[in-house]
Structure 1
Amino acid sequence: MKTTAVLLTLVATTLVAAGKFHDLPHSEYNRVVNGGYIVEYQEGFHHQDTHNTLRTRKVDYMVRKEYGIFNGAAIYVNSEHDGKALADMPGIKNVWPITLVSIPKTIKQKVEPSSLKMPLVHSMTGVDTVHKIYKLTGKGIKVGVIDSGVDYKHPAFALEGALEGCMGPNCRFQYGWDFVGDAYDGTSSPEPDSDPMDCEGHGTHVTGIIGANALDITKGSEPPYPFIGVAPEATFGAYRVFGCKGSSAVDVIMAAMEKAFNDGMDIINMSLGGGSAYKSTPQTVLGDKLVERGVVLVVAAGNDGAEGVWMVSDASLGDLSSSVASVDSSHVVYRTFTYGGATHPYAPSLAWNKPIELPASATLMPVLGKNGSLSDGCDLGTYNGVNIADKIVLVLGDVTRCKSGERGAIAQAAGAAGMLIMTTPLGIASLGGTPDFPMASIENRAGQALLKAYKANPDNTFTWSKKPSVVSIEGGGAPSSFSSFGLDGELRSKPDISAPGGNIMSTFPLSMGGYSVQSGTSMASPYVAGAHALYMQTKKIKLRGDEIRKTFKNTATLSKNYGSSSLTSVAKQGGGLINVLRAITTTSSITPDHIDLLDTNRFQTTVMITLRNDGPNAETYTLSHIPADTLNSYPDNNTFPLPTPQIEDNYATVSFSQNEITIPAGNAAAITISFTEPTTGDAAHFPIYSGFIIATPKSKESVPVHVPYSGLKGDFSRVPIMDTDKGFPALVSLNVSNGAIEKPEGSVATFDANNTVPIVVTRFGSHTPSFSVRVLDDSNKFLGYMVSLQGTKLIRDSGRNPNFDQEGLVAFSQWSWSGMIVPTANATEATRLPPGTYSIVVACQRKFTQGDYPADFEVYDIGKIKN
């Protein structure tokens, strides 16, 4: 690892305050740089003071980064000192491990070139009108993009009259830096330079959403169809923190955040982060400091919608930053086919990657299971006794048993001419597919229509389109299924706002095709960043990011799930779909921009809001309430939240101190809102209810404004932390000789350090302020906290685990033990226990409790160890 040594000078200090160590559980989201730590100093403490303290405490370390605004540093420790030892040193406020952040996975969909002018996503957000009527383009606003870099030579970033984009004083990209180099993967040595050219693609796509102009390009790489970014004249800063593949370390991302601020960026976009955590991460701490200094910080909310509640991206949890959820684009360009008199869109698999042109003799054959329902096509036996030669088989796109490549190979081997996969639950999926075999994804509604038409006439034939066309997509305009659910671990309202993020056309590196359609909150976040540029341009004054966030949340368009008549939960859509036209024309506002009602035991019965009228005349407002979907994630008293929460209609009751109020021009009024929890809904299931408070002006030309609220019925401290349904926590062993994981037999597990290693496995279903693994002697006397084989002290806060890992297996956390403990949470030296029998206890502090042990904890005696 490449680091920079620092010369130290002794200066006496008398600071004695102790800091806090924020360790993280091992999971796919929380990979760490071993020995690497982010250190935040206390007020009045500086770099040299820290160097002096570390040297006095005989810490052997190297500096990775030093920060100014954050008032801290990233260091690499070569000695035995761990993060807790650093936190115990004078002048240290907080210490975190340096975590690795992966490039967000997006859903990619290739499209064919078309002369069709796409109905832009901007029609969903009012940006089309803002461009046309108000002539706003983001000119004069600086937007910093912290990502994988950008292909700044792309013609969609060229100034008028130029054939390609550029970087420099007279270019769209006037600022930038590569912090890492092409070969960097998060663990290798960075090789920084001044050229942030993108070789991965993510950053170029993100940047194009903010401000590309691909409406009139006739030279270079021609777009599949014309489109324009949100702020096509904004000035860019490109800050590259990812190499061509792999991850980036948080200390690198923080360095990019500070440089973007020092370069004068008005807005910073970060389409990165992931996983579940508390808000006290180093990047959120720095992010709030930047917003306090006048910067807008926009962060993706995460693509963990299939994981259920409590999963908003850790990087987006700042109090002052904007956490952005995704809504699917309403229109997309696709090839189509006609069957039974109806036309449906399709997306060929990536392995086929071309239009499907099968002859009319290739007719449909639905693959049905024994119960008569559509099969997933994962078993060769499904085709026994069924003649599918030269047929196009229709199967269900359930991926729990196999993926598209496997089911395609099975159908091909059985003689099928091609395969259509009906998406579940809706939309068009991205398929890997099988080489040399025509496969395509179709919408769920298309699959249902095909089944109905087939039953009416099995001899129906297909007609495959010669050209692509613009189609209204299933689920278009509704919150994206992949977009992460909140709330956070303190029942704070996150995400904040939604934006188009599903099926978004944007730029891609020229070497990789020039353009692509992708889906993710990574696409929604830059849309909001571009919207901020338009807003800042029209207001012509410097506003803090949280102030602009309030305006966008006040004026957003409230969304519904596809096919639903009720509003989507605030935990999914935040304040709603951003509406830039309303935001720049509103003369009303509500403060605060969200209301956290907390849980039953801490219920906020009355809340005061401030309604302001900045219009030229007095305005009369009517106050009203619209409830949103209630989310039930624990309907069967399950200990791990459902991947898809059940939707219920348990609504809060709301009343106002006055239902109508007249406010003079330039004035504000306080209104008291009284809330009553839903009378229906089982508190033992911890339903999350939510809704919106609406202030509707009497003047027809005025814009209504609203504020979202959310709460949990039940005692949040009783929400299950550990997934006991699946047998967690547990004590297992690693057989060193054959690598097998074994569950010890009997009440006492015997471990031979030469042959077996004890492992504690846990699975967090929700947050805990303090997780620990405690070691007791044979008389149940507490000896200390377990220290893992990697040297990690097992006492920390924790977010939740995802449902499944990248291999599709149940996700969990694990720690190997070498017999080391620390006697207290504040101890800096670990000791090895002598041979004996020891009890292992896992303890998880319940949320919203004081932390009195054992009353405020879930406590699990997981077994005894004899070493």
Structure 2
Amino acid sequence: NYNGANTPVPDPDPYDNCEGHGTHVSGIIAAQTNPYGFTGAAPDVTLGAYRVFGCGGSAGNDVLISAYNQAYEDGAQIITASIGGPSGWSEDPWAVAVQRIVEKGVPCTVSAGNDGVEGQFYASTAAGGLGVASIASVDNTQAPSILLNATYTVDNSSLSAFGWTQGTPADWGNVSLPLWSVNYNTNDSANACTALPDDTPDLSNYIVLVRRGTCTFVQKVTDVAAKGARYVMFYNNVSPGSTAVTAVVPGILGVGMTSAAQGAEWIRLLSGGSSVTLNIVDPEVAQQYPVSAPNTATGGFLSTYTSWGPNYELEVKQQFSAPGGLILSTYPLDLGAYAVLSGTSMACPLAAAVYALVSEVRGTLDPKVLENVISATANPQIFNAGAGKTADYLAPVQQQGGGLIQAFDAAYTTTVLSVSSLSFNDTDNFVDTANFTITNLADTEVTYTLSNVPAGTFYTLSTSIFPDPFVNEVAPAVADIEFPQKEVTIPASGSVTVTIYPDLPVGLDGSPVYSGYIAMNGSDESSLSLPYLGVAGSMMRATVLDTANTYLTTTKSAPGYAPAPGNATFALTASNATASNGTVYPAVVVSLALGSPYVRMDVVPYKNSTSKAPWHHRQPKTTEFLGLKTLGNIYGFPEYYVPRGATVSVWDGLLADGTLAPPGTYQLVVSALHIFGDNTDLADYDRVASEPFTIRYQ
């Protein structure tokens, strides 16, 4: 079972009966007529399926790139992937591979990612590729649920029916057990987010009722499992409906979710002293049914989880958005046949289906043409700050791209733009003049009125070297756009090039990202928009390495990785492989506040070393790198185009050239190049040296 760390064993069968993600994605594109009354957005397409995940874990770039290459070689006309991880670099290997396929004429859509909480500059891996369409998520205006039928009794009275959604694990069987609640507060946002009190009863003979919210499902389930729980029923913290939950924790046999209203009713009964017994029918045979209600809280707004761009080098990300929150689609038969899931993973296949529909009408699969028309005809949405709060300004381009896709408009528009977006870069590389071409494919002339519609400007680094988390603080200034011509007339079957002159927002610190839309309203009642963005600040001057939290640690201190004591000594094995016999290795926690295009970890002999140990391989021979006398990088370094965040690099004595460092006392020096930095100029790096330590071999 491939988990991203072991060796994959390919086979010709992509069937998945343990996760369901790919089946759900496929149904969004091509589901056929079914009892639930929906179809995929492009039900007549032919699907190819290339499975890259096992049952859990991750997938390596080698597997992902191989899948893309195989799809291309097999003749795929559109390739979509609802996969990704933090990056921010168009130079990411997977991003480059997908970019090259786009350049060969195959449109590729990739999910933007579900890390909206991380704030700006968190574009996803392949989604960050040049020419690759990165798809953001908008919440469904309906809130569908697939419910399983079950019953409950109150004080051994007559049966009452309720609906619930099974999760993972789902080994419920036929269960009839009393309900026990963590507490009776239906507004407790942190229900079961901390260890339960010592007087908690043995929960093995209860179904434990837990409110959704704040911490992860896994954390909540872990806390109740510590008191013997085997079955957990969540109740939702929003109305209406429920969703599938994944919380695989030792000892837990089954998890599920019911609605907020049903949970509140049970809490009312329990708090009044009644006993409530749930009677769960085995999900494999239980009757299931769909329900739906208007999503009055967030319907039509950007999903708060959707990841924000742009790339670190200011390429525009995202491209546009599609419905991805609360989406009903197909699911493996073993897991219930239908399910409601949320994520940019759900938005992405819908965008791919729109590509198919638009390409059929327009008679082209040219990725640039399709991206341009879909972006230009998309509808920018108002900003959603979460918790039921919406703004009176547009969501930024780095969150929603061109806006919510409009398939019909993209298919039939007779006015097309030469670009899908504009980047004005940062203050050091400011683009003060930009051009784009408007082409009229109709047989009559059209006059367009041009205007600037700013979106929200959001601070990036308002209080520290780290990007502000969502919800970012809004800056008071926006960009101005000067139009030499505020009206342009495009003759029938003609084109006009438009020149614009942007002006930066002024008086702002904290490297805010500004954005907006050049609106074009036509005399034929057509309307188009062209998204733009830039940074009011210098990306090159921003700190990338968190030197205070980059330090020497040891493998023995995993998983917390506390700082190593001063002058530590490590007895390593004298071979070119990490031993698994309990050997303790030095390691370095590297914390990047922003991504870096180039990170080194140099092995530098410590100036006060007194080691005289004989060495049969070779004596230390150093070279110089920007003022360091170094043996070179540790094996695996330098690293290129590294995302932000903390990583741990273990050193077994091996150098980048494949030889072992001699025994002695060393420091590991981390150097991280600034965005847009010159890798030959020390001033463009952040650098920190570890505590000195000694290695010897045994």
Fold shared by both chains (TM-score > 0.5): yes
Instruction: For residue 838 of structure 1, report the CA deviation from its aligned partner.
Output: 2.9
Match of 2:572 in 1: 753
The reply on whether 1:550 has 2:346 as its aligned counterpart is: no
Distance 1:777 1:597 in 2: 45
Match of 1:843 in 2: 671
The reply on whether 1:651 has 2:497 as its aligned counterpart is: no
Instruction: For residue 574 of structure 1, report the CA deviation from its aligned partner.
Output: 1.1
Deviation string, structure 1 residues 226-260 (Cα, Å, up to 9, x no partner): 10111111223333444455544434443433343
Out of 446, 449, 458, the residue aligned to residue 622 of structure 1 is 449
Match of 2:424 in 1: 597
The reply on whether 1:690 has 2:515 as its aligned counterpart is: yes
Contact 1:418 1:437 in 2 (8 A): yes
Match of 2:30 in 1: 211
Distance 1:787 1:613 in 2: 57
Deviation string, structure 1 residues 812-838 (Cα, Å, up to 9, x no partner): 21222233445xxxxxx3444434433
Instruction: For residue 633 of structure 1, report the CA deviation from its aligned partner.
Output: 3.4
Q: How does 1:565-576 map to 2 (within 5 A)?
A: 565-576=392-403
The reply on whether 1:796 has 2:664 as its aligned counterpart is: no
Change (3 A) 1:599 1:442: farther
Out of 322, 330, 335, the residue aligned to residue 507 of structure 1 is 330
Instruction: For residue 598 of structure 1, report the CA deviation from its aligned partner.
Output: 1.1
Out of 669, 688, 698, the residue aligned to residue 860 of structure 1 is 688
Distance 1:839 1:365 in 2: 55
Where structure 1 has 5 or more consecutive residues not aligned to the other structure, the ranges are 1-181, 218-222, 337-344, 385-389, 803-811, 823-828
Contact 1:634 1:642 in 2 (8 A): no
Contact 1:590 1:611 in 2 (8 A): yes
Instruction: For residue 664 of structure 1, report the CA deviation from its aligned partner.
Output: 0.9
Change (3 A) 1:324 1:251: same
Match of 1:612, SS state, is strand
Deviation string, structure 1 residues 390-431 (Cα, Å, up to 9, x no partner): 9x9996721179834357679999xxx98745359x996654
Deviation string, structure 1 residues 537-570 (Cα, Å, up to 9, x no partner): 1123x34112101110000011123322221111
Q: How does 1:111-260 map to 2 (within 5 A)?
A: 187-193=6-12, 195-200=13-18, 201-214=20-33, 217=34, 223=35, 225-243=36-54, 245-260=56-71
Match of 2:156 in 1: none
Contact 1:641 1:765 in 2 (8 A): no
Q: TM-score, normalised by structure 2?
A: 0.77
Distance 1:482 1:535 in 2: 28
Distance 1:427 1:723 in 2: 43
Contact 1:327 1:502 in 2 (8 A): yes
Contact 2:449 2:521 in 1 (8 A): yes
Out of 637, 647, 650, the residue aligned to residue 816 of structure 1 is 650
Out of 197, 204, 213, the residue aligned to residue 397 of structure 1 is 213
Contact 2:244 2:256 in 1 (8 A): no
Change (3 A) 1:283 1:183: closer
Contact 1:431 1:441 in 2 (8 A): no
Contact 2:354 2:407 in 1 (8 A): yes
Change (3 A) 1:393 1:411: farther
Match of 1:621, SS state, is strand
Match of 2:662 in 1: 834
Contact 1:212 1:228 in 2 (8 A): yes
Q: How does 1:264-303 map to 2 (within 5 A)?
A: 264-303=75-114
Kindly provide the amino acid, as one letter, of the partner of residue 852 in structure 1: T
Distance 1:612 1:261 in 2: 31
Distance 1:412 1:242 in 2: 32
Instruction: For residue 846 of structure 1, report the CA deviation from its aligned partner.
Output: 0.6
Match of 2:549 in 1: 728
Where structure 2 has 5 or more consecutive residues not aligned to the other structure, the ranges are 148-161, 201-205, 279-287, 385-389, 574-582, 608-623
Distance 1:267 1:534 in 2: 11
| Cα-Cα RMSD | 4.4
Match of 1:769, SS state, is strand
Instruction: For residue 380 of structure 1, report the CA deviation from its aligned partner.
Output: 4.5
Match of 2:456, SS state, is strand
- Alignment coverage as a number of residue pairs: 623
Q: TM-score, normalised by structure 1?
A: 0.63
Change (3 A) 1:719 1:617: same
Distance 2:670 2:56 in 1: 37
Distance 1:412 1:832 in 2: 50
Contact 1:732 1:758 in 2 (8 A): yes
Match of 2:597 in 1: 769
Change (3 A) 1:270 1:832: same
Contact 1:307 1:644 in 2 (8 A): no
Instruction: For residue 619 of structure 1, report the CA deviation from its aligned partner.
Output: 0.8
Match of 1:601, SS state, is coil
The reply on whether 1:478 has 2:301 as its aligned counterpart is: yes
Contact 1:367 1:382 in 2 (8 A): no
Contact 1:784 1:821 in 2 (8 A): no
Instruction: For residue 523 of structure 1, report the CA deviation from its aligned partner.
Output: 1.6
Kindly provide the amino acid, as one letter, of the partner of residue 565 in structure 1: D
Kindly provide the amino acid, as one letter, of the partner of residue 733 in structure 1: T
Change (3 A) 1:765 1:423: farther
Kindly provide the amino acid, as one letter, of the partner of residue 590 in structure 2: T
Instruction: For residue 582 of structure 1, report the CA deviation from its aligned partner.
Output: 1.0
Kindly provide the amino acid, as one letter, of the partner of residue 404 in structure 2: L
Contact 2:423 2:533 in 1 (8 A): yes
Kindly provide the amino acid, as one letter, of the partner of residue 350 in structure 2: Y
Kindly provide the amino acid, as one letter, of the partner of residue 380 in structure 2: L
Distance 2:255 2:72 in 1: 51
